[in-house]
């Protein structure tokens, strides 16, 4: 489905954007989804522990799938033969695939890999087979997967990379973006470009301007480390990139899914987010709940309960009294605690539903606040929650 972004309203004080993504199928039918949006991640063509119906019930827009994982298993050839990713995984809503770059650079962070101008040589984590991912290959795979949004293949440098490394990397990523766009063949698929440049204003500006010159259907801000050490760098990356991105295209902050970061991202003009955290937290027994806690450095961080904790064994209240998700409407903390203690899969299912809905619900509240020009109050309320 081809996509266009419609900016509907900007919050008067912060400039936070409320908008819409309108997807048009080849048969002319459309699907509309509001932004800010949080996209659940279905790494291997399944949102872990959930059926598509359970995902749908959280009211998502786009979901994500990972090109790297699907390239290795089941292979793009199989998914193409199946009639594309939507049919393969029984998902009729929009799907975004990443480029595979992030996984190549991060999963293989400590393994030998060889980055050349042509692409990246590395070994499969599954069977040790030698693999070579190039901008052309990434786009070719995504074309075959037939996702609705494909991402350009970019270099994701380590957080420790210095200015000179990043400068070279930004330039290479631009050359890779051009090469990818050139071979992009799937007419029903959108292609997004990615802005890199670490925390450096000049690099982000250069990367954003040049990426926009190449011309894409949407723009992502990449290379933001999603950990407590680098919050400031993440905010800088957004602030230094966004002024150079066109207002009429959607802006996607890749791999970010902490409540605080969704708020701070939207405040700085981001429209869409994705993160594996809600399902990963769930599998470890954690539920996102309202309020904030502090990191050791005193920074605000998402509030969570670990349902494995013995104190929940006779807690017959829902995970979150204020939540409207299937888990909170039908089950108690005591039940989820029991399931997690017994390693019953349905425990992770319930927590995944809750955590995904928690983040999506947060985006819904942000939309309302922006529409009413009350986003600043929304943020201050958010931070004042115990």
Tell whether residue 342 is a contact of a copy of itself (CB under 8 A): yes
- 320 carries an active-site annotation: no
Span 346-365, contacts to a copy of itself by CB under 8 A: 346, 348-349
Tell whether residue 46 is a contact of a copy of itself (CB under 8 A): yes
Residue from 106, 168, 295, 330 binding a copy of itself (CB under 8 A): 330
Tell whether residue 282 is a contact of a copy of itself (CB under 8 A): no
243-270 burial string, b = 16+ CB within 10 Å, else e?
ebbeeebbbbbbbbbbbbbbbbbbbbbb
Quick one: how many helices (H) and strands (E) in the chain? 15, 16
**If you search the block for the tokens 């319930």, which residue do you land on?**
350
* CB nearer to a copy of itself: pick between 15 and 74: 74
Instruction: Tell me how many degrees the CA angle 236-238-241 measures, rounded to the nearest 5.
Output: 105
| Options 98, 146, 261, 271, the catalytic residue | 98
Phi and psi for 285 in degrees, rounded to 5? 90, 10
What's the min distance (Å) between Cβ of 241 and a copy of itself?
34
Q: Which helix (DSSP H) or strand (DSSP E) does residue 121 occupy?
A: strand 120-123
What's the min distance (Å) between Cβ of 342 and a copy of itself?
5
Q: Using CA atoms, how far apart are residues 22 and 94, in angstroms rounded to an integer?
A: 10
* CB nearer to a copy of itself: pick between 146 and 261: 146
Span 26-45, contacts to a copy of itself by CB under 8 A: 44-45
Q: Which residues contact 193 (CB under 8 A, 6 or more apart)?
A: 152, 177, 211, 212, 214, 216, 218, 219, 220
Q: Which residues pair with 220 in a beta bridge?
A: 194, 252
Options 68-76, 156-164, 197-205, 258-266: segment touching a copy of itself (CB under 8 A): 68-76
Structural tokens at position 26: 């080849």
By rule CB under 8 A, what count of residues binds a copy of itself? Answer: 36
- 127 carries an active-site annotation: no
Residue from 2, 9, 20, 74 binding a copy of itself (CB under 8 A): 74
Tell whether residue 48 is a contact of a copy of itself (CB under 8 A): yes
Q: Which of 45, 57, 39 is nearest to 354 (CA)?
A: 57
Tell whether residue 24 is a contact of a copy of itself (CB under 8 A): no
Tell whether residue 381 is a contact of a copy of itself (CB under 8 A): no
Query: 98, 89 in Cβ contact below 8 A?
Result: no
In 3-state terms, what secondary structure has residue 129? Answer: coil
Residue from 12, 13, 30, 73 binding a copy of itself (CB under 8 A): 73
| Options 148, 261, 274, 320, the catalytic residue | 274
Query: 307, 355 in Cβ contact below 8 A?
Result: no
Structural tokens at position 384: 């004042």
Residues near a copy of itself (CB under 8 A) are 44-46, 48-51, 54, 69, 73-74, 78, 81-83, 88-90, 313-314, 316, 330-332, 334-335, 337-339, 341-342, 344-346, 348-349
């Amino acid at each position: 489905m081809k996509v266009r972004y419609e900016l509907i309203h900007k919050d008067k004080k912060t400039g936070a954007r409320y908008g819409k993504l309108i997807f048009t199928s080849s048969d002319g039918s459309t699907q509309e989804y509001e932004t800010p949006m949080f996209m659940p991640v279905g790494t291997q063509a399944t949102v872990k522990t959930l059926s598509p119906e359970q995902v749908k019930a959280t009211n998502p827009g786009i979901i994500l799938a990972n090109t790297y994982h699907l390239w290795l298993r089941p292979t793009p050839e199989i998914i193409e033969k199946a009639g594309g990713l939507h049919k393969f995984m029984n998902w009729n809503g929009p799907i975004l695939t990443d480029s595979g770059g992030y996984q190549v650079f991060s999963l293989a962070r400590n393994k030998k890999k060889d980055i050349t101008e042509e692409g990246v040589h590395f070994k499969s984590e599954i069977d040790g087979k030698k693999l070579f991912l190039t901008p052309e290959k990434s786009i070719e795979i995504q074309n075959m997967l037939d996702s609705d949004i494909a991402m350009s293949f970019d270099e994701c440098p380590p957080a420790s990379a210095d200015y000179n490394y990043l400068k070279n990397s930004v330039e290479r990523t631009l050359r890779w973006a051009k090469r990818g766009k050139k071979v992009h063949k799937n007419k029903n698929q959108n292609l997004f470009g990615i802005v890199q440049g670490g925390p450096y204003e000049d690099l982000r500006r250069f990367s954003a301007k040049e990426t926009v010159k190449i011309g894409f259907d949407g723009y992502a801000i990449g290379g933001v480390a999603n950990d407590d050490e680098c919050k400031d760098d993440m905010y800088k990356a957004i602030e230094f990139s966004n002024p150079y991105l066109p207002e009429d295209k959607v802006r996607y902050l890749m791999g970010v899914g902490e409540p605080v970061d969704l708020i701070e991202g939207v405040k700085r003009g981001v429209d869409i987010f994705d993160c594996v955290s809600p399902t990963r937290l769930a599998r470890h027994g954690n539920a996102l709940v309202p309020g904030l806690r502090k990191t050791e450095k005193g920074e605000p961080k998402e509030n969570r309960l670990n349902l494995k904790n013995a104190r929940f064994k006779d807690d017959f209240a829902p995970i979150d009294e204020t939540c409207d998700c299937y888990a909170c409407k039908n089950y108690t903390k005591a039940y989820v605690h029991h399931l997690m203690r017994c390693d019953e899969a349905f425990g992770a299912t319930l927590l995944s539903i809750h955590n995904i809905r928690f983040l999506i619900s947060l985006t819904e509240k942000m939309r309302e606040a922006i529409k009413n020009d009350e986003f600043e109050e929304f943020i201050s309320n958010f931070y004042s929650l115990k």
